[in-house]
Structure 1
Amino acid sequence: MTKENNMEKTEDNKNYECDLSVRWGHIDPSILPFDDLDKEIMCFLRYNARMSNAEIAKMLNTSEATVRRRINELVRRKIITGFSALVDLHAIENSIKVCIRIDTEGDRLDAIADSLAANPNVLSLYRRRGQNQLLLQGLFLNLETIQEFEDSLARKDGIVKYDTMVVSKAFKKDPWVGI
């Protein structure tokens, strides 16, 4: 049984398929900046960042010192940038997720992006390639707060127009917010 199969069979993580293994499964491993053991360690940490080095080592049939050294090196090389808890915000609040396309005047795009990125309701903000457009994902407590946010967009200098799309169902949830 391979280590990967061992990972899929353990009681703690049955039915878990590592998203990193799937994502990088079609890439030539020789071009990745880490080896299979590093990838498996990252998979366990993505599944449960609280898992101890000893637990990971046992599951991978290696030593705790090897796991510790590998994790420290992945952090040093900034491949692993931190450890955090995933919180399902939908379990706590009845949040509404929106996606908003924002058309801007070209010379104002960066200033508008800076001001929007500072808003706590904004989860992510991207520039659309080749366009003076921003793509925003936001999380709001209710329709009233969405309307207030849209009203602030309408008053902001440099915004030409915007289109808000309210998410009604997630077919593949964002693991960071659970929606």
Structure 2
Amino acid sequence: MTEEKNIDKNDGKNYECDLSIRWSKIDASILPFDELDKEIMCFLRYNARMSNAEIAKMLNTSEATVRRRINELVRKKIITGFSALVDLHSIENSIKVCIRIDTEAEKLDEIAEDIANEPDVLSLYRRRGQNQLLLQGLFLNLEAIQEFEDKLATKPGVIKYDTMIVSKAFKKDPWVGI
């Protein structure tokens, strides 16, 4: 295992990259990129606005190498985009919920397609081996949750659902800040 590069918000030295930690448990020879690519991804994950020149300086390589590596990671669809992480909770005091939805087998895909289009739904997954969907949602208030549940209860093929309201995050979702 190689020594991990750390990035600090101020000087680039004290941030431990979650990707490096995750991928340190995998045989590096089976990953579709090398250590330099991984380090570039870590810097971009920490701050997608970081310039190629800044990354190159931190990694002691050329700006052209960083640019070429990023372009190749995008071409391979390993990097799928660059985003700003917005802490929605600091703006709107949202309520995050997790909902388990039991469905009739033949209606599962249709229900999932319909629910996935709801603006308050952050993510939607099928549970393996079950006719269940797992939903994460972000709602502005309790009334919005109730309206969503009322619509859910009337969908043909929904057998039952269980809504869990998140009261405290011990590890926040970086995409929404909750």
TM-score normalised over the length of structure 2: 0.96
- Flag the 1:157–1:35 CA change in 2: closer, same or farther, 3 A: same
Q: Which residue of 1 aligns with 2:109?
A: 110
8 Å contact kept, 1:102–1:162: yes
Q: Which residue of 1 aligns with 2:138?
A: 139
Q: Which residue of 2 aligns with 1:83?
A: 82
Q: What SS class does the counterpart of residue 68 from structure 1 fall into?
A: helix
Aligned pairs for 1:43-58 within 5 A: 43-58=42-57
In structure 1, runs of 5+ residues without a counterpart are none
Q: Which amino acid aligns with 1:69?
A: R
Give the drift of 1:155: 0.7
Q: What SS class does the counterpart of residue 127 from structure 1 fall into?
A: strand
Give the drift of 1:10: 7.9
Q: Which amino acid aligns with 1:154?
A: A
Q: Which residue of 1 aligns with 2:94?
A: 95
Q: What SS class does the counterpart of residue 133 from structure 2 fall into?
A: strand
Give the drift of 1:8: 4.1
TM-score normalised over the length of structure 1: 0.95
8 Å contact kept, 1:21–1:43: yes
In structure 2, runs of 5+ residues without a counterpart are none
Identity between Structure 1 and Structure 2 (%): 82
Partners of 2:9 and 2:149 lie apart in 1 by: 48
Partners of 1:9 and 1:165 lie apart in 2 by: 35
Q: How many residues align?
A: 177
Q: What SS class does the counterpart of residue 111 from structure 2 fall into?
A: helix
Say whether 1:128 aligns with 2:127.
yes
Aligned pairs for 1:57-76 within 5 A: 57-76=56-75
Partners of 1:171 and 1:83 lie apart in 2 by: 26
Q: Deviations over 1:71-96 (max 9, x none)?
A: 00000000000000000000100100
Give the drift of 1:14: 4.4
Runs of 4+ in 1 over 2 A off after TM superposition: 2-5, 7-15
Give the drift of 1:26: 1.1
Q: Deviations over 1:88-121 (max 9, x none)?
A: 0001001000000000000000000000000000
- Flag the 1:160–1:10 CA change in 2: closer, same or farther, 3 A: closer
Q: Deviations over 1:26-58 (max 9, x none)?
A: 111001000000000000000000000000000
CA RMSD of aligned residues (A): 1.4
